Amino acid sequence: MEGLNQTRVTHFVFLGLTTNHGLELALFVLFSVIYLLILAGNLLIIVTVACNRCLHNPMYFFLGNLSFIDICHSSVTAPKMLRDFLFTQKTISYGGCVAQLFFLHLCACAEIFLLTIMAYDRYIAICHPLQYMSLMNLKVCAWLVGSLWVGAAIHSLVQTALTVHLPYCGPNVIDSFFCDVPPVIKLACTDTYLTGILIVSNSGMISLVCFLALLASYVIILVSLRGRTAEGRRKALSTCAAHLLVVALFLGPCILLYTRLAASKMDKVVAVFYTVLTPVLNPVIYTLRNEEVKNSMRKLRDRKIFSRGK
């Protein structure tokens, strides 16, 4: 609390993605379309999973939760970024910055934990099919989702506490388009080396450990598939390939950002990728490669058209 009482900065200024106003307007149109696609695509998956009894199983329960997290994750940064594209002065209050930082890490960590749980679900389904319904029943799934939110909240509180305990009394310009721990603590009026080590230990290790756990689970799955039929291998590999692609697209940028202390000129591009582009790609990856989801969407569409005709 002592560092918080010394805070003199009341707001922060973002440098944004570019200083070219013409390019900002073009980016506003592009990212507005992307954000609308994120909302529409992920909401469609949530509605499809909720309305179709055939999809009421652990895999699609987790997929619906992933879509919900993607909507929340992108909504932490995208609306503010879109607004700032239209204004020369890109500011955020100190409290708004802290809130954005907290919810960003909450959603990102929740997604990392959920992707790890989804890999565990696939491991149980493929390697222990006879025990699947007892090991992954509704109660267990609900407990896992509740636990991941608790874990994500603890992580986010730690990250936020590491940030707000520092004194901010001088520069207030953030070289980014949103508030995150690394660019914010660079503005602190004190040595932040130890804080940076703690941040890397917390965020970086979570990303790295979950990634290694995911990798290990899929190695075990691939080994177990050697004795399966060609059709069984194809179905299992199709599901696993979609999940691995999502993991690589999300965890790759997180590991790049949070396992090193020094900043890079590419950090903004990496940040755009995992806060905006990954959430719009997830629905595409899971629907284009999944016949069951596509068929359920067609049935939902036909049902709506038929109801309208009545």
In contact, 65 and 162? CB cutoff 8 Å: no
**CA dist 26 → 20, 82, 85, 111, 270 (Å):** 10, 11, 9, 30, 19
**So what's the pLDDT on residue 210?**
85
Assess if residue 82 is contained within a domain. Answer: yes
Q: Is residue 310 part of a domain?
A: no
Per residue in 107-120, pLDDT (tens digit) is 999 999 998 998 88
Residue 253 has pLDDT above 80, yes or no: no
Beta strand 173-174 with 11-14: parallel, antiparallel or unpaired? parallel
The CATH number assigned to the domain holding 82 equals 1.20.1070.10
Does residue 183 lie in a domain region? yes
What is the spatial distance between Cα 58 and Cα 139, in angstroms, rounded to a whole number? 10
Give the range with max mean pLDDT: 133-142, 215-224, 225-234, 290-299. 133-142
Which residue would you say has higher pLDDT here, 153 or 59?
153
Q: Does residue 168 sit within a domain?
A: yes
Residue 199 CA to residue 204 CA, distance in Å, equals 7
Task: Judge whether 191 lies within some domain.
Answer: yes
Helices 230-258 and 94-127 cross at an angle (nearest 10°) of 160
pTM value is: 0.87
The helix/strand/coil state of 259 is coil
Burial environment of residue 99 by CB neighbours within 10 A (0 to 12, 13 to 18, 19 or more) = middle
> 147 pLDDT exceeds 70?
yes
- For 66-102, the pLDDT digits (tens) are 999 999 999 999 999 999 999 888 999 999 999 999 9
pLDDT band, very low/low/confident/very high, at 232 (cuts 50, 70, 90): low
For residues 51 and 277, what is the distance between their CA atoms, to the nearest angstrom?
27
260 within 8 A of 19, measured Cβ to Cβ? no
Percentage with pLDDT > 90 across the chain: 34
Range of the domain at 223: 2-303
Which range (146-150, 175-179, 216-220) has the least confidence?
216-220
- What mean pLDDT, rounded, does the chain reach? 84
Q: Report how many domains make up the chain.
A: 1
Q: Within a 10 A sphere around the Cβ of 305, how many other Cβ atoms?
A: 9
Helix (H, G, I), strand (E, B) or coil at 254: helix
Q: Is the pLDDT of residue 285 over 60?
A: yes
**What is residue 5's predicted lDDT score, i.e. its pLDDT?**
47
* Residue 4 in this model has a pLDDT that exceeds 50: no
